[in-house]
A and B are shown apart, each in its own frame.
Chain A
Amino acid sequence: MTFDHILFAIEAGVATLSLNRPEQLNSFNAKMHGEVREALKQVRQNPEVRVLLLTGEGRGFCAGQDLADRNVAPGSAAPDLGASIEQFYNPLIRTLRDLPMPVICAVNGVAAGAGANIPLACDLVLAARSASFIQAFCKIGLIPDSGGTWTLPRLVGMARAKALALLGERLSAEQAEQWGLIYRVVDDAELRDEALKLARHLATQPTYGLALIKRSLNASLNNGFDEQLELERDLQRLAGRSEDYREGVSAFMAKRTPAFKGR
């Protein structure tokens, strides 16, 4: 299957998905949504894939929804944005969060609207020094979607979340790192290499265990203490049955480097 609006490749356990509508700052139209969905389906179904790297082509990462794709002509009936979220954005965000592998997001430039919140649904976010995050929704009368209202307060605290969402000001990558919104800032020229290095490392790690780590940490944001302890018990039970755990322990005992299969 060939794609028009994304670049997609799988190599040595690393799936790379790059948004590719550079002229429109990689904003989403229906076709791009469909292609991203198809690529993520392949990521999920291909047992070779052990890490996903998400990034964008050109000077922007993603400017969110392509407003040209949404006709709100004067006199026309109000659009149902809920339907668009139900159909496109929520499934995308859920898929990124639920993928049973680490998802790295390399934010190569401006990330606005849904484009600012999609990285926050990923597991490890790197950003180029020149990148920025803009919760632009408030400027056109909307609310942060794609999980933004849920993720922001949990990452940066309520006070900063409200400022970001109500003012829609540009947040620099460095500020985002200081606030704990993202994992790390790197120089523009090194972003791709750094992200790939991280991806290649993760592709050699115990993927199943990493998937369980991701699952438990995501769940912790909604769970009470006792619930979370029970979840840890259950997920550790599963992790303990994996081939990689066996390999990890025997490699440790034999003082050799483990060879993980991701199972």
Chain B
Amino acid sequence: MPRTLAVLQPEQGVRLITLQRPEALNALNTELLAELASELDLAEQDINNRVVVITGSRKAFAAGADIKEMAERDLVGILNDPRLAHWQRITRFSKPLIAAINGFCLGGGCELAMHADILIAGEDARFGQPEINLGIMPGAGGTQRLLRAVGKSLAMQMVLGGEPIDARHALRAGLVSEVTQPELTVERAMAIARLIAQKAPLAVRLAKEAVLKAEDTDLASGLRFERHAFTLLAGTRDRDEGIRAFQEKRRPDFTGQ
């Protein structure tokens, strides 16, 4: 049983992972990161799981990395850091990942949130990369994913200035797709998860991969990838079912085949 996470399956096809280190505002220590990576691996292998929602508490999604832990690592320690492998496992997760964010979403917490495919924020969420204030810098994608999400000027301001932005600002900048009442953040994320869980899993998987491809490839290669993925789906039973259901004006019954 994970000690720093709570894992629920509130409904068919959806897993809800809640970060639980209340004593440290869900700071991402190595243990939590390892447990999260393992949980995502389990969700990856579970044929019945289609979407994962990840959230923290009302007060904090995750308020950064564990500073105490970080202080103990010297140069060699950083070079041999096991955390990198955990981050890579989180990055590899191939099913839709939705982050429901309330409160502080800072440093490693913000980087974790940006690993999600869809970010939903409560009104009082705060996003920031305050690493610079400690004489360090983001080390888990903060300098890369933030730029892609909000553009250069704001990314630079956040990374170099270390000051957080509020949920509304994050919405305007494109870091999150929706802002909702804090009490309803998880509910809203679950509703989106439910919607996605009803779609054809193979199509969802390839579509996610294609969108992510756009982040790190040139347009021509991206378009080629998209075409290949599109073509692959032509061989699936779910595609035939989807088109037939549309013609027959009924709900499709997708099996993931």
Contacts and interface: CB of A to CB of B under 8 A. Distances in A.
A256 interface: no
Interface in B176-233: 180-181, 183-184
9 contacts: A231-B181, A234-B180, A234-B181, A234-B184, A235-B181, A237-B184, A238-B181, A238-B183, A238-B184
A238 B187 CA distance: 11
Interface residues of B, number: 4
Interface string A217-243: 000000000000001001101100000
B167 to A, nearest CB: 13
A238 B188 CA distance: 13
A237 B187 CA distance: 11
Interface of A: 231, 234-235, 237-238
Best-buried of B180, B181, B183 by chain A (most CB within 10 Å) = B181
Contacts of B184: 234, 237-238
Contacts of A231: 181
The A interface, classified by DSSP as helix, strand, loop or mixed, is helix
B24 to A, nearest CB: 19
Nearest to B180: A234
Name the 5 nearest CB pairs between A and B, nearest first: A234-B181, A238-B183, A234-B184, A235-B181, A234-B180
B172 to A, nearest CB: 14
Contacts of B180: 234
A238 B181 CA distance: 10
Nearest to A231: B181
Interface in B82-139: none
Contacts of B183: 238
A81 to B, nearest CB: 20
Nearest to B187: A237
Nearest to B181: A234
A8 B181 CA distance: 32
A217 to B, nearest CB: 15
Contacts of A238: 181, 183-184
A237 B184 CA distance: 9
Nearest to A219: B123
A21 B72 CA distance: 49
Interface string B151-186: 000000000000000000000000000001101100
Contacts of A235: 181
A243 to B, nearest CB: 15
Nearest to B168: A222
Nearest to A230: B180
